Amino acid sequence: MFMMCKREFISLFKSFKSIIIIAILFAVSYYAAKFSSFIASGADLTAGEAEDIHTIGLLSVILLFGQLFVFGLSHDTINREVHERTMRFLVTRVSRSAILFGKFLGIWMFWFVCITVSFLLISIFSRKFDLFIFSQTLSLVTYQAALALLLSVLIPRPGYTMFLGNILGLLLPAFGFWAAFTPNGWVNWMKYFVPFYYLERDDFTFLVILGLAGMMMLAANAVFKRREC
């Protein structure tokens, strides 16, 4: 599993798309932290909101565009290996579960490094490392990585997951906010399956997001074990 983790982690950092996304994250972190004091002085914010404004820009970007970023890099993590017939070689060396969870861990480690560096950059200006919002952001990308892997297992062709990933990356944030705040009973119950509902609270409710990610990974593992490679 750790071999697959290392392989996926290194391959992500070698990607040109990864460099662009990292640059976007660092730019957002830098300017959000640099100009947050001006925003706070011109806005009617509570003491807690003023304290968190340094990191809220980065969390907002991950909330709105994180799924699009994750899909853009990892939509074909599994089905690409199947499509190119390299999966047959991999399954002779390690178990399918080790392949799946190793790839997930590699993707998660990539985003962990990116988000950690972004928060360290923000802490230079804020002189504070906000562990709570950092944990919220990590829980969000954990969910997004698990969803990308689940679709990569369910959909056999990389081209289809790329198309669907772009659509979901754009629509999922809007749907999540709608489901969380709409009074429509036919839609409102879906808020419990998307992360946005759990991120609006100032407590540890966001840990439920990790449970949702775990369920998606277990579902992906069950399907992957039965799939022909």
Tens of pLDDT, residue by residue over 111-154, are: 999 889 888 887 877 677 888 888 999 999 999 999 999 999 99
Using an 8 Å Cβ cutoff, are 188 and 179 in contact? yes
Average pLDDT over residues 102-111: 94
* pLDDT band for position 34 (cuts 50, 70, 90): low
Q: How far apart are CA 99 and CA 45, in angstroms?
A: 47
Q: What is the pLDDT of residue 47?
A: 45
Q: How far apart are CA 102 and CA 125, in angstroms?
A: 35
Is the pLDDT score of 16 beyond 60? yes
Q: What is the pLDDT of residue 169?
A: 84
Name the residue range of residue 182's domain: 2-226
Residues of the chain with pLDDT > 90, as a percent, come to 23
Give tens-digit pLDDT for 42-82. 445 444 554 556 677 777 788 888 888 898 888 888 988 88
Q: What is the pLDDT of residue 50?
A: 47
**Considering its fold, how many domains does the chain have in total?**
1
Average pLDDT over residues 22-44: 65
Average pLDDT over residues 162-169: 85
Q: Residue for token digits 């509570």?
A: 46
Is the pLDDT score of 32 beyond 80? no
Q: Residue for token digits 């002085």?
A: 41
Query: What is the pTM for the complete model shown?
Result: 0.87
